Amino acid sequence: MTQPRHAAPVPPDPPEWRVEPGLLDYAEGVAEMTARAEAIAAGTAGERIWLVEHPPLYTAGTSAMPRDLLAPRFPVFETGRGGQYTYHGPGQRVVYLNLDLAARGRDVRRFVQALEAWIIAALADLGVPAWTAQGRIGVWTRGADGAEAKIAAIGVRVRKWVTLHGLAINAAPDLSHYEGIIPCGISEFGVTSLSALGKPAHFSALDAALARHLPAMLAAVGPVPGGT
């Protein structure tokens, strides 16, 4: 008797890669990101990586200390992501990730390490050596003055094993806007950007570098069973 032939499993779709034009209202972005995460957890939507740019604002993570808000020059939003105060604004590439960690191994530490490596690889393509530092969140490089400075921030949240928020890379923001806060509670070091370092600072180059290293980042987070 001929045995029935079973169809090979269909690999899941890769995460949607969406680049938002213009400046996105922060509250609107968080609401849409949260709704997408809920839909992923419910099995009614796929993963998404959303590249955005915001108008000037400060966000307060779950560990934010009031003393680190030096001058509220811009709107301040309390957010559920980890970390302390950070700045978002024009010229900064913000990447929101809605990934399904339930399907990718449920390892939050591995997820954060994958984001760090992703940023470092993308910056290397643009001629910027970067690294992580013990006890300091984010990604670091040498500023124009030779001192260590932060070029990218990471702040994530995981709800129902779906990730929210993500990372921010300074392409060409107004760095004076950081003077209203102590970024991530670290006062000993400054911030820098691709523009301040004389490197390609337009989003097209940065986004292309992130896209090149996306498969490696996703593999590091944990491949979806049945996927590639």
Q: Which domain holds residue 160?
A: 16-221
pLDDT in tens, 148-206: 999 999 999 999 999 999 999 999 999 999 999 988 777 788 999 999 999 999 999 99
Is the pTM of the predicted complex or chain greater than 0.85?
Answer: yes
227: in domain: no
Residue 195 lies in a domain: yes
CATH number at 161 reads: 3.30.930.10
Q: With 50 as the cut, is the pLDDT of residue 8 above it?
A: no
In a domain, 9, yes or no: no
Q: Tens of pLDDT along 71-126?
A: 999 999 999 887 889 999 999 999 999 999 999 999 999 999 999 999 999 999 99
Domain count, the chain: 1
Please tell me which residue in 184, 191, 196, 224 is annotated as part of the active site: 184
Residue 124 is assigned to a structural domain of this protein: yes
Told to judge if 188 belongs to the known catalytic residues of this protein, a careful annotator would answer no
Dihedrals φ, ψ of 109, to 5°?
-60, -45
Return the pLDDT at 227.
56
Q: Residue 24: its pLDDT value, please?
A: 98
pLDDT at 164: 97
Tokens of 62: 């779950």
Tell me what pLDDT residue 11 has: 44
* pLDDT of the residue at 228: 45
